[in-house]
Structure 1
Amino acid sequence: MSRVALTAVVMSLLLLAIPLAIGIRISFFSDESTELGRAALAAAVQVGPDFTAGDPVELPRSLTDGSVAVYDRSFQLRAGTGPRAVDEVTRSALGGEVSQGRAGGDLVVAVPVVAAEQVIGVVRAASPAAAVWTRVLLAWLGIAALALIALLVGWSVAVRQAARLTRPLESLADVARSVTAGDLTARVPVSGIPEIDAASATQNAMVSRLSAVLDHARHFGTDASHQLRTPLAGLRLGLETALQDPRADPRRSLEEALQRTDELQLTVEQVLALSRLTTQPPTDDQLGSLDELKDASLRRWHGALALDGRRISCLLAPAVASLVVPLNACQQILDILIDNARTHGRGTVQLRARDALGAIAIEVADEGRIRSGSADLFRRGVTTHAGSGVGLPLARALAESLGGRLNLTGHSPTCFTLLVPADGTAGIRSDFVHGA
């Protein structure tokens, strides 16, 4: 890149310096000819009409480094300094017109001396062309020196600009190599150059998307096993109970097992939908009322909590009992929250629901406590007690896939609040993001 900039500077200097050098040469020789013409004219004015009769001629001091001479019509040198044998430039001035040219390495200007409308002589002014060339060469050296300085300045600026441009490109390449090596946290910093920043932003977005895809793929197995644990346990418990109870109705046990199997299939589909990075609420989830959701939660968790000597209670306002929600997704979230309360909480698990101005607020609370500053609870792998740290991040992802929100709204006692759109609509107003 610096070579390109340096080449551009050199070409610019050449395009400027060559015409300037030619112009200086033409200008210096033209100025010298003009100076010689003035000197010759000044001398011609001093020549009287009787100089051919032998009157002395007083020539003015030369305005140039050359010489001034006066010749009569027979080309005899009468005054000044000049060659004995006149040149063609001097001869042509006898025609009555000023003539100029070169003769014997000199610049020559010849001016006719006129008296009574007759040419009676010629004034010849001359200077060596070498002296003019010396001045031209000195001027060219000055131009070359300035061009060299400009070249050095241009090269310095080009190097700095090239470094400014190549550093972000090198950073972009380094980040690309880091991503290739497996570091999906590498990001390209902002450089301040719009074109490079646009490419960097595109690469960062690509890496972020790739990281999200890989995270979802990597976490699918963990999420699926976490969510399948509860329905599998319920299925096993039901089958074992049916086997141990000789009075159990086999058909009823099979129907319950089939229902549990359907729940397993819905759970897998729900987790699989999350792994596809969909940003739209699920359209194939079965809609149902909050009353149905309450009954399903009681049926699934009453026995498990009773084994631990605990109970679950539901408080559902009549005004919200008939409101519609996506049953399977909400049941998945509640399973996580109730299982979290069973594992980490104490006392009675309370399930509450209320209207929240266009949304439905479903709360899961227990008598335990979470210390303050637990903002990382929803970050995968973070847990306040023994656990995998998978449930709450998965529950929040499920909530967001519905267009809802899940937040910790109480520390002592512990309370989690799920906000879902009322009647299956998509999206929650931003003022409900932090719960109720």
Structure 2
Amino acid sequence: MRAHVVRVAVMASVVALLLLAVPLAVAIRFAFLTDERGELERDAMAAVVRVGPDFAAGDPVELPSGGGGVRRAVYDASGTLRSGDGPSSGGDTVRQALAGHVAQGTSGGELVVAVPLSSGEQVVGAVRASTSASTVWGRVLWGWTALLGLCLVALVAAVLVARGQARLLSTPLEALARTSLAIADGDLTARADASSVEEIDEVARAHNSMVERLARLLERERRFTANASHQLRTPLTGLQLGLESALADPHADPRAALAEAAEQAHHLDHTIDEVLRLATTDTGTTAPAAAQPVADLLQAAERRWHGVLARDGRRLAVVREPETGRLRVPGRTTDQILDVLLDNAHRHGDGTVTVTLRDLGTALALDVSDEGSAVLDAQAIFRRGTGAGTGIGLALAREMAEGAGARLALSGTAPTRFTLLLPLDEDA
């Protein structure tokens, strides 16, 4: 790009210099020739003053002494040389002067000026002044050389300025290209810096905005992949274990196994819908989860997790007031958060896992506790990548809770207790 900018600037400078230099060269030639003819005319006028009216009758003529290469001559009315340095015949220029006006011309490589010589009201002769045209053209060539030198200086200055401007324009573009390559290599934190060129800054701002949007989209995709992997693993494991148990027991009722598998598949479908809903929450295109009676959610969670905990010799207890069971809460969201909290208690907790439902009047408090102890503080435990496992579950549970207008917090550490504050449905 730098070479292109310099080339364009040099071409523009050359065109501008030609448009300026050619008229100046013509003007220099015209000025020098006009100046020389004016000098010749003044010399001839000075000679006219020195020539008497009777020079044709034989009176001596005293012409001014020659200088600067100027030749002077006096001609009579017939155009014949009477005195001075000139051709024997005056030629066209002298004949025009004898007609009564100052004449200018060239003859034999000389610039010639002829001035009429009058006596009374009659032209009785002419004074001719001439100089070599090569002398004048030498001065013209010197002028043209000076003009050419100035043009070359201007062209060199234009090249230097063009190179500076090319560097000014290309440097931010080269930096923008390096930033784009860094982003293409996976560095989504790379951003284009501001420059002193407003148009390039506008491109850089648009580029940075595009990268930020791409980064958000990629982060959303990564989160969706991680969330889906985490949330689908547990129900798939339960479904697999149920089917394997039914196959291992020849006396087992296949209808019961199929019913359990159907319930697990139904829960998987809800899990996928909730993960997709969470992935598109910030786009505003997905409706909130439908409300369900909280008693139904607790019963379904108890069926899913009772056997899982029992295989490890642990017990699951659900405690709630009878009248709270009819209250409605965001169904799929609460279901998924319960799965995360029960899975966390199963993997990292100890002893009996207790789910307690409390009515706070304007909201429901759902406590999930076990007999273990939390080793992280109340804020760090909800950060992604924190803890002994994948570090996704609790962070995902808090995101789902906030997306539904609920709140999830670590409310106890010895024993460990998580509390989910659920907004009640408006029709509750």
TM-score, L = length of structure 2:
0.71
Deviation at 1:48, TM superposition (A): 4.1
Task: Give the structure 2 partner of residue 113 of structure 1.
Answer: 117
Look up the equivalent residue of 2:391 and give its one-letter code.
Answer: G
State the SS of the aligned residue for 1:389: coil
**Distance in 2 of aligned mates of 1:200 and 1:64:** 70
CA contact 1:294–1:314 (8 Å) conserved in 2? no
2:233 to 221, 229, 232: 229
Q: CA offset at residue 44 of structure 1?
A: 2.9
2:188 aligned to which of 180, 185, 188: 185
Larger radius of gyration between Structure 1 and Structure 2: 2
Residues 319-348 of structure 1: per-residue CA shift (max 9 Å, x gap): xx96764x3235434543564576567998
Whole-angstrom distance in 1 between the partners of 2:147 and 2:262? 96
**Alignment partners' CA distance in 1, 2:45 and 2:234:** 120
1:386 Cα deviation after fit = 0.9
Match of 2:26 in 1: 22
Report the counterpart of residue 389 of structure 1 in structure 2.
391
State the shift of 1:7 in Å.
Answer: 2.5
- The AA in structure 1 aligned to 2:389 is G
- Matching residue within 83, 99, 104 for 1:95: 99
**Is residue 341–residue 349 contact of structure 1 (8 Å, CA) maintained in 2?**
no
Provide the C-alpha distance between the structure 2 equivalents of 1:11 and 1:204, rounded to a whole number of angstroms: 40
Q: Secondary structure of 1:133's partner?
A: helix
**Cα separation, 2, equivalents of 1:288 and 1:350:** 19
The answer to whether the aligner puts 1:86 opposite 2:90 as a matched pair is yes
Contact kept in structure 1, 2:280 and 2:286, CA below 8 Å: no
Query: How do residues 262-273 of structure 1 correspond to structure 2 at under 5 angstroms?
Result: 262-272=266-276
| Higher alpha-carbon deviation: 141-150 or 217-226 | 217-226
- Verify the 8 A CA contact 2:102 2:114 in the aligned structure 1: yes
1:34 equivalent to 2:38? Answer yes
The 5-angstrom pairing of residues 6-405 of structure 1 reads 6-53=10-57, 66-78=70-82, 80-177=84-181, 182-185=185-188, 187=190, 189-190=192-193, 192=195, 193-200=197-204, 220-232=224-236, 258-272=262-276, 279-283=283-287, 286-288=289-291, 291=294, 295=298, 299=302, 303=306, 325=330, 327-333=331-337, 335-336=339-340, 339-340=343-344, 368=374, 370-371=376-377, 374=380, 378-379=383-384, 382-383=385-386, 385-392=387-394, 394-395=396-397, 398=400, 402=403
Corresponding residue of 1:428 = none
Q: Per-residue deviation at 1:214?
A: 5.5
Residues 176 and 142 of structure 1, relative CA distance in 2, 3 Å threshold = same
Measure the CA separation in 2 of the matches of 1:151 and 1:75.
54
Q: Which amino acid aligns with 1:386?
A: A
Q: 1:64 to 1:255 in 2, by over 3 A?
A: same
Deviations 1:35-63 (Å, cap 9, x if unpaired)?
32233334434544344455555656779
Flag structure 2 segments of 5+ consecutive residues without an equivalent: none
**Matches of 1:411 and 1:38 in 2, distance apart?**
118
- The secondary structure found in structure 2 opposite 1:25 is helix
Note the C-alpha offset of 1:169. Answer: 3.9
Letter in 2 for 1:387: G
Aligned residue number for residue 427 of structure 1: none
Q: Quick one: which amino acid aligns to residue 388 of structure 1?
A: T
* AA in 2 matched with 1:189: A
Aligned partners of 2:289 and 2:404 also within 8 Å: no
Task: Give CA-to-partner distance per residue, 1:212-234, whole Å, 9 cap, x none.
Answer: 55665566554323102344466
Per-residue deviation, 1:99: 0.9
User: Cα RMSD between the aligned structures?
Assistant: 5.1
| Paired positions, count | 408
Tell me the amino acid that sits aligned with residue 20 of structure 1: L
Residues 182 and 190 of structure 2 are in contact (CA less than 8 Å); yes or no, is this contact kept in structure 1? no
Distance 1:54 1:416 in 2: 141
Q: Tell me, which stretches of 5 or more residues in structure 1 are unaligned?
A: 425-436
Relative distance call for 1:409 and 1:220 in structure 2 (3 A) is: closer
Contact 1:338 1:364 in 2 (8 A): no
Measured against aligned partners, the alpha-carbon deviations of 1:123-182 in whole angstroms (never above 9, x if no partner) come to 2222222122112111211122122122222222222333333344444444555555x5
TM-score, normalised on structure 1? Answer: 0.69
